[in-house]
């Protein structure tokens, strides 16, 4: 051991061993300040903690969740954290820099086990020691329960070899995994569920193509949200935007892919549940043509709109998954006009016309509108044509009505699906989801019938307007909101976004979210909605569009 | 967003956005040095990397694995790491301190997904920028495959409520977990294994007492080692000694408990597999009386010595687990003389005599010998008596013979158990374990019979010598060796340690490793070997001994 002997320093009811270079003394008051900060942290004394950090926009604090810049951002984080885990300092290494600066590295021993590490740059201003940069490592966790319910290395291996060899799947907890109960993000539902006798066919298809199952990933409760905030399991982190929500309802698979825990997120998309987290986290995400991929073994939310889909970090993987899924599982005939019975006969998109409906972006935030306009410019300057589609089916009023009809039918179907279980299990859901289902319960049969009728009419009108074109639109109305956004803010963002995503939901068209744009430092996706059955062609063409967006 | 606009800085074929406080310039050459270091890191250019770090014993480098102190320690770590994952720098925040010092925080985007954070204190010495302190956060992993094979939140819930409510179990991958195949640390063995129809009864007992299963934790291959180095899955980290091995074969459960991933490590101990990782990681560990706890559902290694046991972070939890296990599962009658048929009738240890056999510590390192002597002083000054046991059964020659006989019988039984599978699966094992089994295969029937005879004689002699006393000895011959120790060094440590642990193995007596001593900055356990059947009494009395050791 080359370690020098520590100099014990009294701290509370114990001693902290302080290590210094030979012949070097700690600057006056520094160790006391560090221990004072530690005491404030253990007491979650927010006022003192804010005081210990240097004021101003240049102060830094980072941990595994990302880097926070600026005193106010750090204070806000601390306010929503709810305290740090209790710990003691096992060793404090002091490295004086000059009279008014020093680096401290503290090895911490949390009471819950493991070892952590805290690095702090201290600065003396006006006689008081302040932290101007901090870097915190908590002990690594066994797993992140916000992202995963179960995880393995692998949880289930591949059943064949093929184009997905070496790939790993995060399976949304509404899709059956052989041998495991399905939880749907609801602990009480999980407690009553038996292990699935077999996996969903879509999962079988990916395993047959060489992919293994990494684990079962979290979802918004019953997949009835696009936020990713699960009252029971927490909000999965969004590594692209520290402190922002993940987006949902395929929140766990999306975060797992963004964090590098898996290469494929297998999810579902009823009203945007793949496109939204893809957009928020800078991922690729495909909502498949309604009815094209079997939903056997998938817990329904609203069968008229429920689809299976996937998220990836890159376009090549997305294309490989899409090909594997369409080639390896029996196709269903839902919309006979466009959907061929075998994947290889799926209509290709040789030279699709890109079209744009200005009203679709109306509810987006100004920063999203600007980023999307820049994206359109990039598509155009790479040689693509994007025509403005001037059609009554896509004006603001029509879109508002479409969204109303969509959400009414979705709610009626969701309640038909889950109402009796929810009624029998009061208190089982988080407040926001419970409120949504309560509203769903209030939809009358007449209202549902009327909405279905309006939806059928709108679908016909939209199909006529869109034809064989590919509609291009922002994937979401905003970038990922902060995790501590108020419920009302999240709800407003939800409504604005669903107004955008409903065109694909209502028409059953495939929708692909492609990353590449940034708005205010956060990613925003560009969504391409193609004719039904063109999933594979859409994905293949999108590689070029992505390149254009990236270099635009 | 309050972030300032970055100033792009050319780096390789791209640009790195550099963020500085308003009106502040980066010191000359600093950003170039930081990017040069990054390039060297991506190329795993060890010479340049060693050059970039400031020389001397005070340089710091920390990550989730712990804090390394001193340039040479850091260089050694880098040498065994085998390169860092490829990444790009997404943002570089520069905070100049004075003319010759600056703090850098780099947000990294590994190609494999997620975001990392690197903090570096740079210092200009003789005109060249050097790193004097670094703190690295890699993106959090889904799980640590060195520690776990499968993990859940929980993997399996409790089946009852009781004294273990809220506790979580890391199950060594040689103990059956309902619904999961058993892997024994050998991927090819796992591939051929079917899901277990039911859990081992000892696991059922703990779940009935309120504990849940956190996951299935790694083991040395077929549990035939005490190092914790698994050629297929890696070496679980030892949070108590950064860069040291975990100890095994209950390596995964031990690390899981030490890291706070679980509160109970459920393992097995044939020749030291619970006591050694407990000693190396500063944990409590109990090897139960041979035959007292059913080994149903446990993959055998050498049935004459195989026992089930557990590791915990504190004595209270160990006592609670011991009580739950002994109360809730049917006791076996193996050694009728001492072992009662019901746990509550287990003989208590009212006022046990502690005895010491000086030859047992002969093979220990000087630092362990010193620490152990200090431990004895502490036990004595807390009012305990520790008598020196002068008996021919415990002199050096007898212990050497005992170890030889023990390892011969162990090997013969291990080969009888696994030989045919190993023969049918060439290349399935790591080199060290394969070599051990190859030696085991060479043990002749005559040699085995002779060893059994010697063992029976020795056991009788040991029982006569020990009687109702509790033998106190170091839990291992050394503290945890470094992960990059040579195979021969590990082998020598193994032999020295097994010579110490064999007394309990050969007599079937329970052995409890209690933490509290440190040797050269690393933990070393004190082992208490009691009469057969006194497990619970031993654990209860050990609370006082631990207090004495801690405050001695």
Which of A65, A92, A111, A115 to probe the B interface (max B CBs under 10 A)? A115
A-B contacts (CB, under 8 Å): 223
pLDDT at B80: 85
**For A17-27, what is each residue's pLDDT tens digit?**
999 999 999 99
C-beta atoms of A60 and B179 within 8 A:
no
Pick from B149, B13, B203, B9: nearest CA to B93 = B9
Q: For chain B, give the mean pLDDT.
A: 93
What's A121's domain CATH number? 3.10.450.50
Three-state DSSP class for residue A310 = strand
- Give contacts of A86 with chain B, Cβ < 8 Å: none
C-beta atoms of A239 and B115 within 8 A:
yes
Q: Is residue B547 part of a domain?
A: yes
**For B412-437, what is each residue's pLDDT tens digit?**
999 999 999 999 999 999 999 999 99
Q: Are residues A295 and A395 in the same domain?
A: yes
Across A88-112, b (16+ Cβ under 10 Å) vs e yields ebebbbbbbbeebbbbbbbbbbbee
**For B334-360, what is each residue's pLDDT tens digit?**
443 344 333 334 455 666 789 999 999
Q: From start to end of B126-237, where are the E strands?
A: 128-137, 148-156, 168-172, 212-217
Q: Pick the residue from chain B with its C-alpha nearest to A98.
A: B98
Q: Are residues B87 and B195 in the same domain?
A: no
Output the DSSP codes for A156-215: E--SS-STTTT-EEEEETTB--BTS---TT-HHHHHTPPPBSS--HHHHHHHHTT-EEEE
Q: Is residue B142 part of a domain?
A: no
pLDDT at A332: 53
- Give contacts of A257 with chain B, Cβ < 8 Å: 113
**Distance of alpha carbon B122 from alpha carbon B130, whole angstroms:** 5
C-beta atoms of A114 and B260 within 8 A:
yes
* Residue pair A172/A265 in contact by the 8 Å Cβ criterion: yes
pLDDT at A337 over 80: no
C-beta atoms of A260 and B4 within 8 A:
no
Chain A: closest CA distance from residue B239 (Å): 6
Q: What single-letter DSSP state applies at residue A289?
A: P
Q: What CA dihedral angle connects B54, B55, B61 and B67, to 10 degrees?
A: -150
- Give contacts of A103 with chain B, Cβ < 8 Å: 60, 121, 132-133
Q: Are residues B206 and B348 in the same domain?
A: yes
pLDDT at A331: 58
Degrees, nearest 5: CA angle A540-A541-A546: 100
Q: Are residues B429 and B543 in the same domain?
A: yes
Q: Which of B137, B164, B189 is the last residue of a domain?
A: B137
The residues pairing with B524 across neighbouring beta strands, listed in sequence order, are: B517
Which of B117, B170, B258 to probe the A interface (max A CBs under 10 A)? B117
Q: Are residues B131 and B156 in the same domain?
A: no
- For residue A139, give the nearest of B153, B239, B520 by CB distance: B239
Q: Are residues A228 and A117 in the same domain?
A: no
B36: number of Cβ within 10 Å: 16
**For B344-403, what is each residue's pLDDT tens digit?**
344 556 667 899 999 998 889 999 999 999 999 999 998 889 999 999 999 999 999 999
What's B391's domain CATH number? 3.90.1300.10
Show the domain range for A110. 7-137
Residue whose structure tokens are 């520590």: A6
Q: Is residue B2 part of a domain?
A: no
B149 Cβ partners below 8 Å, 6+ apart? A152, A153, B173, B183, B190, B215, B216, B217, B218, B233, B252
* Residue pair B242/B60 in contact by the 8 Å Cβ criterion: no
**Distance of alpha carbon A175 from alpha carbon A203, whole angstroms:** 8
Q: How far is CA A102 from CA A61, A131, B58, B375, in A?
A: 16, 10, 14, 38
Q: Are residues B347 and B406 in the same domain?
A: yes
B100 Cβ partners below 8 Å, 6+ apart? B27, B123, B124, B125
C-beta atoms of B112 and A260 within 8 A:
yes
C-beta atoms of B239 and A152 within 8 A:
no
Q: Which of B99, B118, B137 is the last residue of a domain?
A: B137
User: Token pair of B38, please?
Assistant: 């990054």
* Residue pair A208/A329 in contact by the 8 Å Cβ criterion: no
Q: Are residues A217 and A317 in the same domain?
A: yes
Degrees, nearest 5: CA angle A377-A383-A384: 70
Which of A98, A113, A139 to probe the B interface (max B CBs under 10 A)? A113
**Distance of alpha carbon A337 from alpha carbon A328, whole angstroms:** 22
* Residue pair B205/B292 in contact by the 8 Å Cβ criterion: no
Q: Is residue A396 part of a domain?
A: yes
Number of domains within chain B: 2
Q: Which of A137, A167, A188 is the last residue of a domain?
A: A137
Q: Is residue A343 part of a domain?
A: yes
- Give contacts of A105 with chain B, Cβ < 8 Å: 60, 62, 67, 133, 135
Q: Are residues B411 and B539 in the same domain?
A: yes
φ and ψ at B76, to 5 degrees? Answer: -65, -45
Q: Are residues A377 and A495 in the same domain?
A: yes
- Give contacts of A115 with chain B, Cβ < 8 Å: 66, 239-240, 242
Instruction: Give the percent of chain A with pLDDT over 90.
Output: 87
Q: Is residue B28 part of a domain?
A: yes
C-beta atoms of B95 and A58 within 8 A:
yes
Q: Is residue B431 part of a domain?
A: yes
Q: What single-letter DSSP state applies at residue A234?
A: B
Question: What length is written for chain A?
Answer: 552
Q: From start to end of B290-410, where are the E strands?
A: 307-312, 354-356, 386-388
Q: Are residues A357 and A406 in the same domain?
A: yes
- Give contacts of B132 with chain A, Cβ < 8 Å: 95, 103
Q: What is the pLDDT along chain B (552 residues), one digit of tens a residue?
A: 334 567 777 766 678 999 999 999 999 999 999 999 999 999 999 999 999 999 999 999 999 989 999 999 999 999 888 899 999 999 999 999 999 999 999 999 999 999 999 999 999 999 999 999 999 999 999 999 999 999 999 999 999 999 999 999 999 999 999 999 999 999 999 999 999 999 999 999 999 999 999 999 999 999 999 999 999 999 999 999 989 999 999 999 999 999 999 999 999 999 999 999 999 999 999 999 999 999 999 999 999 999 999 999 999 999 999 999 998 876 554 443 344 333 334 455 666 789 999 999 888 999 999 999 999 999 999 888 999 999 999 999 999 999 999 999 999 999 999 999 999 999 999 999 999 999 999 999 999 999 999 999 999 999 999 999 999 999 999 999 999 898 888 889 999 999 999 999 999 999 999 999 999 999 999 999 999 999 999 999 999 999 999 877
C-beta atoms of A153 and B148 within 8 A:
yes
Q: Is residue A308 part of a domain?
A: yes
Q: Are residues A305 and A355 in the same domain?
A: yes
- Give contacts of A262 with chain B, Cβ < 8 Å: 142
Chain A: closest CA distance from residue B114 (Å): 4
* Residue pair A208/A160 in contact by the 8 Å Cβ criterion: yes
B33: number of Cβ within 10 Å: 21
**Distance of alpha carbon A287 from alpha carbon A270, whole angstroms:** 9
User: Token pair of B8, please?
Assistant: 């792009």
- For residue B260, give the nearest of A110, A121, A262 by CB distance: A110
């Amino acid at each position: 051991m080359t370690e020098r002997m520590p100099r014990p320093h009294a701290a509370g009811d114990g001693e902290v061993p302080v290590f210094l270079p030979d012949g070097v003394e700690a600057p006056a008051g520094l160790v006391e300040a560090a221990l004072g900060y530690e005491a404030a942290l253990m007491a979650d004394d927010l006022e003192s903690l804010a005081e210990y950090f240097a004021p101003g926009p240049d102060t830094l604090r980072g941990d595994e969740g990302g880097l926070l810049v600026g005193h106010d951002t750090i204070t806000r984080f601390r306010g929503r954290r709810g305290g740090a885990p209790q710990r003691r300092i096992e060793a404090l290494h002091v490295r004086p820099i000059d009279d008014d600066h020093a680096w401290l590295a503290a090895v911490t021993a949390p009471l819950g086990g493991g070892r952590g590490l805290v690095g702090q740059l201290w600065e003396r201003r006006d006689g008081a020691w302040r932290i101007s940069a901090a870097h915190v490592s908590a002990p690594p966790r066994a797993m992140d329960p916000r992202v995963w319910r179960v995880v393995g290395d692998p949880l289930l291996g591949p059943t064949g070899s093929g184009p997905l060899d070496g790939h790993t799947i995060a399976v949304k907890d509404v899709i059956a995994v052989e041998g495991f109960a399905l939880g749907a993000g609801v602990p009480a539902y999980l407690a009553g569920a038996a292990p699935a006798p077999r996996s969903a066919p879509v999962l079988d298809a990916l395993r047959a193509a060489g992919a293994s199952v990494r684990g079962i990933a979290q979802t918004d409760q019953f997949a009835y949200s696009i936020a990713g905030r699960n009252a029971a399991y927490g909000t999965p982190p969004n590594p692209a935007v520290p402190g922002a929500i993940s987006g949902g309802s395929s929140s766990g698979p999306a975060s797992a892919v963004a964090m590098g825990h898996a290469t494929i997120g297998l999810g579902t998309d009823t009203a945007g549940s793949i496109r939204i987290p893809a957009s928020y986290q800078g991922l690729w995400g495909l909502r498949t043509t309604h009815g094209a991929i079997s939903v056997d073994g998938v817990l329904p939310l609203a069968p008229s709109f429920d689809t299976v889909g996937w998220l990836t970090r890159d376009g090549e993987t997305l294309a490989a998954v899409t090909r594997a899924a369409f080639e390896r599982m029996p196709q269903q005939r839902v919309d006979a006009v466009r959907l061929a019975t075998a994947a290889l006969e799926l209509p290709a998109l040789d030279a699709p016309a890109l079209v744009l409906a200005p009203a679709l972006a109306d509810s987006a935030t100004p920063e999203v509108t600007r980023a999307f306009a820049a994206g359109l410019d990039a598509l155009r300057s790479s040689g693509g044509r994007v025509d403005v589609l001037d059609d009554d089916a896509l004006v603001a009023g029509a879109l508002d009505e479409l969204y109303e009809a969509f959400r009414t039918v979705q709610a009626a179907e969701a309640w038909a699906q889950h109402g009796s279980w929810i009624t029998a299990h009061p208190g089982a859901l988080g407040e926001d989801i419970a409120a949504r289902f309560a509203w769903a319960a209030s939809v009358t049969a007449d209202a549902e019938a009327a909405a279905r009728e309006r939806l059928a009419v709108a679908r016909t009108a939209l199909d006529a307007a869109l034809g064989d074109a590919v509609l291009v639109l922002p994937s979401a109305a905003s970038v990922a909101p902060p995790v501590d956004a108020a419920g009302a803010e999240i709800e407003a963002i939800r409504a604005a976004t669903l107004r955008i995503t409903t065109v694909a939901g209502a028409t059953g068209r495939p929708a692909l979210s492609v990353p590449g744009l940034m708005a205010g430092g956060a990613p925003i996706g560009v969504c391409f909605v193609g004719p039904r059955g063109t999933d594979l062609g859409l994905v293949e063409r999108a590689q070029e569009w992505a390149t254009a967006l990236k270099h635009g």
